[in-house]
């Protein structure tokens, strides 16, 4: 049997690092993603060919993390999770392709995981509830790859809807879509400073925020108000980390009201606030990210800008008027190259359907 699956990347709008702190998040799927085409094979061998990463072969009976080709671990972890759920996965071959760059904060890892899961479910003619697919992919990333990620990336890739933001409550697991202002678009700008989350400070931030919650005597930082935090005696570093998470949760709740009323300027101001908190409280920005944000904020038609995703390099999003978007993207790239001497790539981002919406529309 032969099958094909597709999963899009995502941008994180607000809710930076809140998902693993049981908080609330806003994301959106983008019109870039990864496709996997594959078929069963009789021999006990998994072969995955990637246009950009190369070719990997692993025995199905020997699902071990690969050190020489770590990119394939995202798929191998998903295979292990689906096998634990009862899928009789034996050998198969697959080709991975797409226009979603890796390592730039657009969640290529989650797209790879989701595409792998959907392909294998199709090959074995099985179905799982979409949230269970997201959780299986998250477990793969946590337990096989070693990145202690939350569920935002997988949920957004699966549940996204065109012209809508995705609201996700990591504690209650509520997922809903929020209409996005039609006269506004996002410009994505890549710093060209690629980062590998498993080798970055991501897991360190997980430990720091968990330590802050423990010292405050709460289950998670979601349970802490800004007033309580101000009165706490947390060490300076942990206080700043907690301030970021508490502030991000508040910004997401405020954003829901602003989007409902079509207040793009207010929403853009929240993006600016979020980046400043990343810059000064969470230390997950970088000189290149700050430069892109600062350039964008000085342009006509721009309402706000911030890093997107985990940070530590990667990409930014700029909220701007649709009629000015192309010019903003071009000028942002030119100015960034002139001031950083780094190559730049920017593109106007359309908010598209997630993997599940695509599946439903084709049935």
Would you please indicate which residues are annotated as catalytic (active-site) residues? Answer: 153
Q: What is the chain's percent helix, strand, coil content, to nearest 5? A: 45, 25, 30
How many angstroms separate the CA atoms of 70 and 20, rounded? Answer: 23
How many angstroms separate the CA atoms of 105 and 284, rounded? Answer: 12
Pairing of strands 54-59, 45-50: antiparallel
Nearest to 14 by CA among 191, 245, 198, 184: 245
Asked if 131 contacts 354 with a C-beta cutoff of 8 angstroms, the reply is: no
Strands (E), the chain: 2-14, 24-40, 45-50, 54-59, 92-98, 164-169, 175-179, 184-190, 302-308, 315-321, 345-349
How many angstroms separate the CA atoms of 267 and 14, rounded? Answer: 10
Strands (E), 112-262: 164-169, 175-179, 184-190
Nearest to 144 by CA among 85, 198, 90, 200: 198
């Amino acid at each position: 049997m032969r099958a094909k699956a597709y999963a899009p990347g995502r941008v994180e709008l607000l809710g930076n690092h809140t998902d693993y702190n049981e908080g609330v998040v806003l994301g959106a799927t983008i019109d870039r993603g990864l496709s996997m085409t594959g078929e069963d094979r009789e021999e006990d061998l998994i072969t995955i060919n990637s246009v950009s990463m190369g070719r990997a072969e692993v025995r199905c009976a020997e699902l071990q993390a690969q050190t020489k080709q770590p990119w394939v671990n995202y798929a191998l972890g998903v295979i292990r999770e689906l096998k634990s759920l009862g899928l009789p996965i034996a050998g198969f071959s697959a080709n991975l392709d797409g226009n979603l760059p890796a390592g730039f904060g657009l969640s290529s890892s989650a797209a790879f995981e989701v595409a792998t899961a959907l392909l294998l479910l199709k090959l074995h003619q099985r179905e799982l509830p979409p949230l269970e697919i997201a959780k299986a992919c998250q477990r793969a990333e946590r337990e096989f790859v070693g990145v202690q990620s939350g569920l935002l990336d997988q949920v957004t890739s699966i549940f996204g809807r065109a012209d809508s933001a995705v609201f996700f409550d990591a504690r209650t697991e509520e997922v809903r879509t929020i209409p996005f202002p039609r006269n506004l678009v996002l410009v994505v700008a890549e710093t060209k400073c690629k980062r590998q989350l498993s080798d970055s400070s991501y897991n360190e931030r997980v430990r720091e925020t968990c330590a802050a919650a423990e010292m405050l005597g709460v289950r998670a930082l979601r349970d802490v108000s800004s007033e309580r935090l101000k009165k706490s005696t947390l060490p300076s570093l942990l206080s700043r980390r907690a301030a970021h998470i508490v502030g991000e949760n508040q910004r997401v709740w405020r954003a829901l009201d602003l989007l409902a009323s079509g207040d793009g300027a207010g929403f853009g101001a929240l993006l600016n606030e979020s980046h400043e908190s990343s810059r000064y409280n969470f230390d997950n920005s970088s000189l290149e990210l700050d430069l892109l944000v600062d350039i964008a904020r000085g342009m006509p038609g721009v309402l706000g800008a911030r890093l997107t995703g985990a940070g530590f390099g990667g990409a930014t999003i700029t909220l701007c008027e649709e009629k000015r978007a192309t010019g903003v993207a071009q000028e942002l790239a030119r100015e960034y190259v002139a001031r950083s001497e780094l190559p730049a790539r920017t593109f106007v981002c359309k908010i598209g359907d997630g993997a599940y919406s695509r599946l439903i529309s084709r049935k």
